């Protein structure tokens, strides 16, 4: 090999967003690990503070900065690295790299792009060049034309014939792509697309063709292998990130498999990729015909999936190849005896399913298609398709115990349209259709899902029917075994038999039916493997591994990334494992999210890539002869299981299951607060509308409403008056004895403050208090957090500390916890309590450089831990955490923030003062500077007044304004000049909508008039247009004020690029 570089920059993918999620923490972490091992000085630029890759023990220096050319250039100028890795941070890193190349920055500083050459990247990203390259080697691509104008698009579509596919170059996650049935649809899509790209592709439609992918690896010696192939259950037309995917392919013959493999290798060699890439095919389900859809010349979501599906560490290998190694010089990390130049053979089947959170958004369309909407994914491993499919459904954590639970979502209804025009629920409607006796042929016609998959789903249906016959609850052992092998969980069988989970469990114990532990060894048992990568299956007669030694601790992972729970909990788990290892424990992780670092098998002693359920945990606990389970690091899923695990006699480590229950149960927690004399907003649990009305009369509006069963729309809402309350409860929620609604007083114009802490036997030993920029009413996950607090009264902080101490003592908290407060006029009320690691734990740990998880884990294991008495209030710098929204992908969703969380990720930046850190954080999540022209709708009169002086400041800076009706009048009357524009619905010129569509402004500030706008109002149209046309949008008054104030203080070019280490606590 020829290692020529000494110092390398790795670009991360910034905040998690739809289309770019945790998979790049996995790939970036592996890259950094390999570079370090190779002795290369490693710099990482990534503002995503919750990631594992930005941990202290990995890169030599971490920069929490926007992954944009100006900042990357600053770091390059300062550090003078000789190499850069662009393929480990998704499209964000790749696009940034391409720009740096075009701007001549890489040349200027003599920075070498490692791995796949830039020329190759450009060849794969530009459709025209891509097609030309593939034609050179007789590889077929979809017939298409690249166009740069609407007229050209229309004429191209005319040539190809409708329907046509529209694709966009340089897009992450298929953004803006779509199928157009007619001219009108094409017009809409292309007009929008051309606002943020110069090139659009009009393509022949291959609807109904199979979608197949290969993960390909190539070294500089021209060795080229395909590590994994994958088949999408959903045919072409649904983005692979939105598809249910199986690995390896199931319905391809040898001829098809190897034909596509050969084309993959031919293509990748011709393009000249060095490292890893992904190639996607369309395969005609009626012939040998095929098309190459695209090549991603970088690590991707699919490569993360393929790594986990095969045990082949693609990102690590890609890094080594980028450094000049050959595949024949690298060992297979799983077997440790064989070589990395081989293609894994699987002896199991893997099913991946996307996790959507569409119900969190108002007005959003649930249709899925060529653009991504899912926020995460889960992966199941089994030895039959049925087993893996039912596992993966449970892993989604959407309240489904298996596919037989379909009626919960479908209401027992079956609409053919649901099959033909897929939504996030299509799989369940397929099952519903089978229940209604619709034939497999008909379902195939509507869905084009290969009949083989449909047959398998039907088998599950037949098993359900067989089980239904045992209404006495006793199932013969051979049938129970068969059901278990088809992935029926104990709980699922109990639901079908109307018995309970424990009865099925004892029946299983009696019959001695237990799952077997199998290894993932990359070679299907052909060679002995040292692998610790494991899963459970009921298709097995022996375990591959045995319990090994004492002091074994299970750590439960966080499951699917979703809104409200993502990479931060992976960071917590990985750190807990590191501490446990240091303390001499054997660590066993259970998790099933392929986008995580915790599921890298080199992180722990054993990894069970399996369900985090009572059933599987109990089996693993027994097999591993575990000493206990840590439930406090993986977020809410493990936390909720704690009392039940305790009930089964398994040892829950840390805070007791009883205490967790007292904090989780609203009534119990409320009484506790009363006992401790701690204030909380008044609340009731009501089972009728009358009760709620009476409560409203007593405490007054606005009210925060939380139904326990939601029909449509978001689960939580704020009602400002009775009519709104009535409307919400009637339209969106079921309210009854069985499904009560929790209503609490919503406190307005209050500050929201949080404390993250660790307690030992009820004594708080370390804490961090942070304040929100936004007033209370914005979900803490969507709020911008400031650490340490800059605008909170000392008296408030004192009260918060006292309350935290009292609660910790009362619940005898032994581990991490988080409390949230609203404070108004020095009156502090508790609104939330979690006896587990919280979302903000990596943020506070990294800003303070005190690892809260390490401390908590030591506490949990009974180690002596020094209490940290130091107050962090006088820190010389400030950390700001900002949310990342993905509204652009959620067609139709109202891009506002409220009580229901909507952000998909977050970043955090550091600065010597608040404004510096704040601006960097805002730039990291997509805001752009400088602002020249802004469109203002400043909402109610109070906020109009509050914003006025800031706008005046901007005017002096040279910013010009457009404003809607009332806002324009108000601003002009008070001496801030604003050009008045009409509301969108007024359909008069000049119009706000047109202004946005034409790109006439570079920022939109739109403050909603009330908490919960349900209608498609003028404001909604403006907000939505801003998002659709990629213009930064601010909808919160406090945020708008801070943003303007910060830009008045800081010039964009002056923002410094300092590494994490340069800020000293």
Partner 1 sequence: MHSYIELEDGTIYHGFSFGYPASVSGEFVFNTGMTGYPETFTDPSYTGQIIVLTYPLIGNYGVPRIEVRDCLASGAESEKAHIEGVVVADYSPEYSHWDAEQSLGDWLKEQKVPGITGIDTRALTKRLRQKGTMLGRIVNDDKLVDFYDPDKENLVAQVSIPEPILYQGGNKKVMLIDCGCKSNIIRSLLDRGVSVLRVPWNYSPSNDKVDGILVSNGPGNPQMYAETIRNLETAMRDGLPIFGICLGHQLLALAAGAETYKLKYGHRSQNQPCVLVGSQRCYITSQNHGYAVDDRTLPADWQHWFFNANDSTNEGVRHRSHPFMGVQFHPEAFPGPNDTAFLFDDFIRQLSS
Question: What is the contact surface with partner 1 in residues (CB under 8 A)?
Answer: 219, 221-223, 225, 248-255, 257-258, 261-262, 265, 285-287, 326-329, 337-339, 341-349, 383-385, 450-452, 455-456, 459, 516, 518, 523-528, 539-542, 544
CA distance 930 to 83: 30
Residue closer to partner 1 (CB basis): 279 or 327: 327
Q: How far is the CB of 223 from partner 1 (least distance, A)?
A: 5
CB atoms within 10 A of CB 1061: 12
Q: How far is the CB of 587 from partner 1 (least distance, A)?
A: 25
Contacts of 138 (CB under 8 A, 6+ apart): none
Q: What are the E-state strand segments in 446-579? A: 516-519, 533-537, 552-556
Residue closer to partner 1 (CB basis): 153 or 306: 306
Residue closer to partner 1 (CB basis): 413 or 439: 439
Residue closer to partner 1 (CB basis): 254 or 512: 254
Q: DSSP labels for 292-306?
A: EEEEE-S--HHHHHH
Q: How far is the CB of 919 from partner 1 (least distance, A)?
A: 50
Residue closer to partner 1 (CB basis): 265 or 396: 265
CA distance to 795, 868, 877, 913, per residue, from 871 (Å): 15, 8, 14, 18
Q: How far is the CB of 525 from partner 1 (least distance, A)?
A: 4
**In the β-sheet with 586-591, what is the strand arrangement from edge to edge?**
516-519, 533-537, 606-609, 586-591, 552-556, 628-630, 652-653
Residue closer to partner 1 (CB basis): 343 or 685: 343
Q: How far is the CB of 259 from partner 1 (least distance, A)?
A: 9
Residue 379 dihedral angles phi and psi, to the nearest 5°: -135, 135
Q: How far is the CB of 487 from partner 1 (least distance, A)?
A: 12
Q: How far is the CB of 320 from partner 1 (least distance, A)?
A: 14
Q: How far is the CB of 42 from partner 1 (least distance, A)?
A: 26
Residue closer to partner 1 (CB basis): 228 or 917: 228
Residue closer to partner 1 (CB basis): 542 or 874: 542
SS3 160: helix
Q: How far is the CB of 527 from partner 1 (least distance, A)?
A: 6
Contacts of 793 (CB under 8 A, 6+ apart): 823, 826
Q: Please name which of 109, 118, 125, 204 lies closest in space to residue 166, comparing C-alpha atoms.
A: 204
CA distance 1044 to 277: 42
Q: What angle do CA 508, 510, 515 make, to 5 degrees?
A: 40
Residue closer to partner 1 (CB basis): 337 or 761: 337
Length of the chain measured in residues: 1065
Cα atoms in the 13 Å half-sphere on the side-chain side of 569: 29
Contacts of 250 (CB under 8 A, 6+ apart): 231, 349, 385, 450, 452, 453
Q: How far is the CB of 229 from partner 1 (least distance, A)?
A: 9
Q: How far is the CB of 541 from partner 1 (least distance, A)?
A: 4
- Interhelix angle 314-322/23-37, rounded to 10 degrees, is 50
Residue closer to partner 1 (CB basis): 216 or 835: 216
CA distance 607 to 574: 12
Residue closer to partner 1 (CB basis): 518 or 920: 518
CA distance 664 to 570: 22
SS (H, E, C) 611-664: CCCHHHHHHHHHHHCCCEEECCCCCHHHHHHHHHHHHCCCCEECCCHHHHHHHH
CA distance 1047 to 413: 54
Q: How far is the CB of 606 from partner 1 (least distance, A)?
A: 18
Q: Please name which of 855, 873, 872 lies closest in space to residue 864, comparing C-alpha atoms.
A: 855
Residue closer to partner 1 (CB basis): 61 or 458: 458
């Amino acid at each position: 090999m020829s290692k020529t570089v000494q110092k390398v920059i790795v670009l991360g993918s910034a905040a998690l967003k739809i289309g770019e999620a945790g998979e790049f923490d996995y790939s970036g972490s592996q890259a950094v690990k390999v570079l370090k091992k190779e002795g290369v000085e490693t710099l990482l630029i990534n503002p995503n503070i919750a990631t594992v890759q930005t941990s202290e023990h990995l890169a030599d220096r971490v920069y929490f900065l926007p992954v944009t050319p100006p900042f990357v250039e600053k770091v390059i100028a300062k550090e003078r690295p000789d190499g850069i890795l662009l393929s480990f941070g998704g499209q964000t890193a790749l696009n940034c790299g391409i720009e740096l190349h075009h701007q001549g920055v890489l040349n200027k500083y003599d920075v070498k792009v490692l791995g796949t050459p830039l020329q190759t990247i450009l060849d794969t990203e530009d459709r025209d060049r891509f097609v030309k390259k593939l034609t050179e080697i007789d590889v077929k691509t979809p017939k298409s034309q690249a166009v740069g104008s609407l007229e050209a698009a229309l004429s191209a579509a005319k040539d190809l014939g409708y329907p046509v596919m529209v694709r966009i170059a340089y897009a992450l996650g298929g953004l803006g792509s779509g199928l157009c049935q007619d001219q009108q649809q094409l017009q809409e899509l292309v007009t929008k697309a051309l606002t943020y790209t110069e090139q659009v592709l009009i393509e022949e439609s291959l609807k109904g063709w199979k979608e197949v992918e290969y993960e390909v690896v190539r070294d500089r010696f021209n060795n080229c292998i395909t590590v994994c192939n994958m088949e999408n259950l959903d045919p072409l037309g649904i983005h692979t990130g939105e598809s249910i995917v199986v690995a390896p392919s199931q319905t391809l013959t040898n001829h098809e498999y190897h034909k596509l493999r050969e084309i993959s290798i031919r293509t990748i060699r011709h393009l000249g990729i060095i490292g890893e890439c992904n190639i996607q095919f369309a395969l005609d389900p009626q012939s040998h015909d095929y098309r190459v859809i695209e090549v991603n010349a970088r690590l991707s979501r699919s490569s993360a999936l393929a790594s986990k599906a095969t045990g082949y560490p693609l990102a690590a290998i890609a890094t080594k190849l980028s450094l000049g190694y050959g595949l024949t010089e690298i060992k297979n990390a799983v077997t440790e005896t064989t070589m990395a130049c081989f293609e894994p053979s699987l002896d199991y089947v893997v099913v991946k399913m996307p996790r959507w959170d569409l119900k969190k958004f108002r007005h959003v369309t649930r249709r899925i298609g060529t653009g991504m909407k899912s926020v995460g994914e889960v992966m199941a491993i089994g030895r039959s398709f049925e087993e893996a499919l039912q596992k993966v459904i449970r892993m989604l954590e959407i309240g489904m115990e298996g596919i037989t639970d379909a009626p919960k979502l479908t209401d027992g209804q079956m609409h053919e349209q649901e099959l033909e025009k897929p939504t996030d629920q299509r799989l369940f409607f397929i099952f519903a259709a089978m229940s209604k006796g619709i034939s497999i042929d008909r379902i195939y016609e509507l869905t084009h899902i290969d009949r083989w998959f449909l047959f398998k789903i039907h088998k599950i249906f037949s098993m359900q029917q067989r089980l239904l016959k045992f209404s006495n609850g006793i199932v013969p052992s051979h049938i129970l075994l068969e059901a278990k092998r088809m992935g029926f969980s104990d709980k699922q069988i109990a639901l079908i038999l109307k018995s309970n989970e424990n009865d099925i469990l004892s029946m299983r114990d009696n019959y001695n039916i237990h799952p077997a532990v199998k290894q993932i060894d990359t070679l299907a048992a052909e060679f002995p493997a040292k692998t610790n990568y494991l899963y459970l299956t009921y298709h097995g007669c022996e375990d591959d591994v045995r319990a090994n030694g004492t002091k074994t601790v299970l750590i439960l992972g966080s499951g699917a990334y979703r809104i409200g729970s993502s990479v931060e909990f992976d960071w917590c788990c990985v750190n807990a494992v590191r501490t446990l290892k240091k303390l001499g424990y054997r660590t066993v992780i259970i998790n099933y999210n392929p986008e995580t670092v915790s599921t890298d098998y080199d992180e722990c002693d054993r990894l069970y890539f399996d369900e985090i359920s009572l059933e599987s945990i109990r089996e693993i606990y027994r097999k591993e002869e575990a000493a206990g389970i840590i439930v406090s690091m993986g977020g809410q899923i493990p936390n909720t299981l704690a009392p039940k695990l305790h009930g089964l006699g398994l040892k829950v480590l840390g805070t007791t299951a009883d205490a967790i229950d007292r904090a989780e149960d609203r009534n119990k927690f409320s009484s506790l607060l009363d006992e401790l004399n701690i204030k909380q907003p008044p609340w009731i649990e009501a089972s009728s509308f009358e009760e709620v009305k009476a409560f409203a009369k007593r405490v007054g509006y606005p009210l925060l409403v939380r139904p326990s069963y939601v029909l449509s729309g978001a689960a939580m809402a704020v009602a400002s008056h009775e009519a709104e309350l009535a409307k919400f409860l009637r339209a969106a929620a079921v309210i009854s004895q069985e499904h009560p609604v929790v209503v609490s007083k919503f406190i307005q114009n209050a500050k929201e403050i949080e404390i993250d802490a660790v307690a030992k036997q009820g004594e708080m030993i370390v804490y961090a208090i942070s304040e929100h920029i936004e007033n209370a009413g914005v979900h803490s996950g969507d709020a911008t957090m400031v650490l340490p607090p800059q605008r909170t009264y000392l008296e408030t902080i004192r009260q918060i500390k006292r309350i935290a101490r009292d609660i910790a003592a009362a619940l005898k908290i032994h581990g991490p916890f988080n409390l949230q407060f609203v404070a108004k006029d020095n009156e502090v009320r508790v609104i939330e309590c979690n006896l587990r690691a919280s979302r903000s734990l990596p943020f506070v740990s990294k800003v303070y450089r005190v690892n809260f998880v390490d401390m908590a884990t030591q506490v949990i294991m009974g180690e002596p831990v020094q209490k940290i008495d130091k107050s962090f209030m006088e820190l010389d710098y400030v950390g700001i955490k900002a949310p990342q929204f993905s509204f652009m992908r959620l067609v139709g969703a109202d891009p506002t923030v409220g009580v229901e969380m909507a952000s998909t990720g977050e970043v955090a930046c550091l600065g010597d003062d608040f404004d510096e850190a704040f601006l960097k954080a805002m730039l990291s999540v997509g805001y752009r500077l400088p602002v020249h022209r802004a469109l203002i709708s400043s909402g109610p009169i109070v906020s109009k007044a509050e914003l006025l002086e800031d706008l005046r400041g901007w005017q002096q800076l040279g910013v010009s304004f457009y404003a809607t009706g009332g806002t324009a009048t108000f601003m002009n009357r008070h001496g801030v000049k604003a050009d008045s524009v009409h509301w969108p619905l007024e359909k008069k010129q000049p119009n706000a909508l047109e202004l946005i569509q034409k790109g006439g402004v570079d920022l939109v500030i739109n403050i909603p008039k009330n908490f919960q706008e349900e209608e498609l109002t003028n404001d909604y149209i403006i907000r939505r247009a801003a998002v659709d046309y990629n213009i930064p949008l601010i909808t919160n008054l406090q945020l708008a004020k801070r943003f303007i104030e910060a830009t008045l203080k800081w010039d964009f070019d002056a923002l410094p690029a300092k590494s994490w280490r340069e800020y000293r606590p």
